[in-house]
Amino acid sequence: MSRILRYHSTGRPADVLTLETESAPDPAVGEVRLTVLAAPVNPADINQIEGKYGKQPSLPATPGAEGVARVESAGPGVSTLSPGDLVLLPPGAGSWRESLTTAAQDLVRIPADLDILQAAMLRVNPPTALLMLTQYTDLNAGDWVLQNAANSGVGRCVIQIAKARGLHSLCVVRRPELIPELEALGADAVILDRREDMASIRERTGGAKVRLALNAVGGDSATGLAAALAPGGTLVTYGAMSKQALKVPNGFLIFKDLRVRGFWLTRWFENATVEERGPVFDELIALASAGRLTVPVENTWPLGEFAAAVDQAQREARSGKILFRMSA
Ligand SMILES: NC(=O)c1ccc[n+]([C@@H]2O[C@H](COP(=O)([O-])OP(=O)(O)OC[C@H]3O[C@@H](n4cnc5c(N)ncnc54)[C@H](OP(=O)(O)O)[C@@H]3O)[C@@H](O)[C@H]2O)c1
User: Would you state the pLDDT for residue 24?
Assistant: 84
pLDDT in tens, the chain (328 residues): 999 999 999 999 999 999 999 998 999 999 999 999 999 999 999 999 999 999 999 999 999 999 999 999 999 999 999 999 999 999 889 999 999 999 999 999 999 999 999 999 999 999 999 999 999 999 999 999 999 999 999 999 999 999 999 999 999 999 999 999 999 999 999 999 999 999 999 999 999 999 999 999 999 999 999 999 999 999 999 999 999 999 999 999 999 999 999 999 999 999 999 899 999 999 999 999 999 999 999 999 999 999 999 999 999 999 999 999 996 5
pLDDT of residue 172: 98
Angle at 242 between CA 213 and CA 51, to 5 degrees: 110
Q: Which atom of ligand 1 is nearest to the CA of 125?
A: 6
Of all protein residues, whose CA lies closest to atom 23 belonging to ligand 1?
152
CATH 3.90.180.10 domain range(s) in the chain: 2-121+295-325
Q: Which residues line ligand 1 at a C-beta cut-off of 6 Å?
A: 42-44, 124-125, 128, 149, 151-154, 174-175, 216-217, 238-239, 241-242, 263-265, 316-318, 321
- The CATH number of 2-121+295-325 is 3.90.180.10
CA of 44 to the centre of ligand 1 (A): 9
Tell me the C-alpha distance between 245 and 205, whole Å. Answer: 27
Question: Which residues are within 8 A (CB) of 86 and not within 5 positions of it... i.e. 6 or more apart?
Answer: 37, 68, 69, 70, 71, 109, 110, 111, 112, 114, 116, 119
**CA 121–ligand 1 middle distance (angstroms):** 14
CATH 3.40.50.720 describes domain 125-266: yes
Ligand 1 atom nearest to 240, measured from its CA: 45
Question: What residues does CATH 3.40.50.720 cover in the chain?
Answer: 125-266
